[in-house]
Amino acid sequence: MCHLDTAILGTFGELSRRARKGYCYPSQRTILKLAARFYGVSRSRRTLNRRLSFLEHSGFFVRVRRIRRGPDGSLVMRSTLYKLKGKFYNYMGLAYRRVESFFQVFRVPFVALNQRPAPMVSERSVGGAVDNPVDNSERGGPSGIFQAISPPSGPSQDPESSK
């Protein structure tokens, strides 16, 4: 399968997942736009039709033409309905497992996720005691890392303000 096939199947998967249905009905223009935006694949409409035909014959989905009658009795073509089949879900599950196994290398250990950060030592700590940087709001002062950069709360020592 080529990269366009993966982009088409990924687009169908996301659209059907958002609608919580086993089908979707994007227009060809929408398929091309989403494939270009999210997968970086830009192809012609004719190439898209060839790949859609290949994927349908491979058993990933079934295409159903949607036609309705216009007010004057003429036939009006609507976007095609794509009913997703079991092979589609198997392929997407396999792709998910490949990506998941790739990111297993970069997974943060469970122990690191549950550790609390070390408390911060502020200039106001007396005799080696440590202030809790999160629970500083009871004293009316700033909390967290901002307590180290906050201005002093005493009277101003500005020489111009005493005049």
pLDDT one-digit tens code per residue, 108-158: 555 555 666 666 665 555 555 544 444 444 545 444 444 444 445 555 555
CB-CB contact of 63 with 57 (8 Å): no
pLDDT of residue 44: 95
Q: pLDDT of 39-71, one tens digit each?
A: 999 999 999 999 999 999 999 999 999 989 889
Is residue 37's pLDDT more than 60? Answer: yes
Check whether residue 13 and residue 83 sit in a common domain.
Answer: yes
pLDDT of residue 49: 95
Check whether residue 19 and residue 45 sit in a common domain.
Answer: yes
Q: Which phi and psi (to 5°) does residue 60 adopt?
A: -80, -30
Check whether residue 105 and residue 128 sit in a common domain.
Answer: no
Is residue 15's pLDDT more than 80? Answer: yes
Check whether residue 40 and residue 83 sit in a common domain.
Answer: yes
Check whether residue 96 and residue 49 sit in a common domain.
Answer: yes
Number of domains, the chain: 2
With vertex at residue 119, the alpha carbon angle to CA 117 and CA 123, rounded to the nearest 5 degrees, is 145
CATH assignment at residue 53: 1.10.10.10
Flag whether 159 is in a domain.
no
Tell me how crowded residue 143 is: count the other CB atoms within 10 A of its CB.
15
134 Cβ contact list (under 8 Å, min separation 6): 143, 144
Check whether residue 34 and residue 91 sit in a common domain.
Answer: yes
Beta strands in the chain (DSSP E): 23-24, 61-64, 67-69, 75-77, 81-84
Looking at residues 18-40, what average pLDDT do you find?
A: 93
Check whether residue 41 and residue 94 sit in a common domain.
Answer: yes
**What is the dihedral sign for C-alpha 84, 86, 87, 88?**
positive
Flag whether 158 is in a domain.
no
Check whether residue 104 and residue 127 sit in a common domain.
Answer: no
Looking at residues 17-38, what average pLDDT do you find?
A: 93
- 130: domain range? 123-150
pTM of the predicted structure, to 2 decimals? 0.59
CB-CB contact of 131 with 125 (8 Å): yes
Q: pLDDT of 79-110, one tens digit each?
A: 999 999 999 988 888 877 777 766 666 555 55
Check whether residue 105 and residue 50 sit in a common domain.
Answer: yes
Is residue 6's pLDDT more than 70? Answer: yes
